[in-house]
Structure 1
């Protein structure tokens, strides 16, 4: 048996999961622990981490290091994504991680992020209930990954594309954090749609038959759409959500003031200033996919909300590879 830890350090939050693997498969020891650190604050403009953002993420890394030591973890993989790819001072961040965890972060490409997100999202769903091909949409703070594939062989995805649009990046770029003006929303929509159009030249969106949405934005908007007033993970994970229902919520939330968003108890406090931008990205992604499918004679009216994505993929991939090495 081996014990592994995966850390997913994104633009808005950092997450930890610990699991063991033996001949019977993967066993989660420490379910996802999330801390909102806003590492990507200002990166879209300044292309560098701020000292305040680094302090927040260092505090979380210190906490995670203690948990990892307590569980006598054999292997750790620290994955950094969009914000770290863009930060010119990332060496300081990388050095701190090495000092605390003894490893350097993997600053993965958008395509690798997409592959791991697909693996994580499809590994826990009963895919026999859904029609292939499956499109996993991982809507993060700095980027959004689209990955098309067949869950029967998640290591062989058909196509993937990483778009530099996310809840933090778009909120800062178009000032969508507090009752945005309609011209700001329109400019953001033009930017988002342009990114999706470019993505569609790589990912054949017209072929999609099942959409699986992962990330905090997607699950949060799904919770609001089904009428939750407090977030209940078990009621969201694997739930089929009608696109029309969530679209109405998306369009309402993006136009809210910060005061109004603060009344949405289902939204994590660390996400309330950027949830409007995230909702707008999710709304446009769903519309563009639906339009592409319908133009090809298909029809798609819903998606599957999933609590599982990149972090699950990191842990499963690491555990599978390392267990195979020691078993060879």
Structure 2
């Protein structure tokens, strides 16, 4: 088995065992085709040696893993942007907290293997999960939400440099080897992009829906649409889009400034026939709260920013029939 990064050897023994047990990683760096063959996929797309190609989609479907339920979890919602830097993790955390404060038992799974944000956002940095008698990770708690993240297993400033097979293995462990209590809702904070993590999740579990996050900027919206298209292709319901960092209200001059453009996400929602779940203003307090590990819904529960998060949570809960 390929040796893990040296930083991981400094982890407690029980967490090293969790991360690397049964890890199916080649002994050396292999090409994509070699990796597929090593894992029993001699002809992964089911293509014939000659003649007319068959229905490739049907062939691929036969090779996919069966979707499984996450034990003790009622509904699962993915929060995605397909682009970094648009406030997706901040939205996911505040959405989870707003749900929990409305009486919905909620968990939060940070699925970003390379750049996990949840430990910082929930002020859980440096804490390590325990293993239960069945060798499953016990989630940590913050502000009434149960949370799990790769950031709890790896030192904060260490880099994870894993190839696809190891990422898929870690993702499956985070999905199915966490001892969640009984939850009405599990929110998945997805990483940027439309790659290994997104596909592993979409092919492994039944998602109740996806929430897409974007700023009003056209560049961000292009990536958001790519993420939305991925969920449509794998038959995941789109609950709607959130327009983040929309308008800045200047406390000095009293004017409103549309830093990233005006209503780009609203127009895109109208164009694509999906719901605009809400509009989060560009406000320094949201950033400060996130950096301090006390998200806005907790830090200023009666403020206008928290109200915006609560309105989005109410719409998602209604769509999922949780209220």
Please classify the TM superposition score into its range, dividing by the shorter chain length: under 0.3
Q: Which has the larger radius of gyration?
A: 2
TM-score scaled by length of structure 2: 0.28
TM-score by length of 1: 0.27
More strand by share: 1
Q: Which has the higher helix share?
A: 1
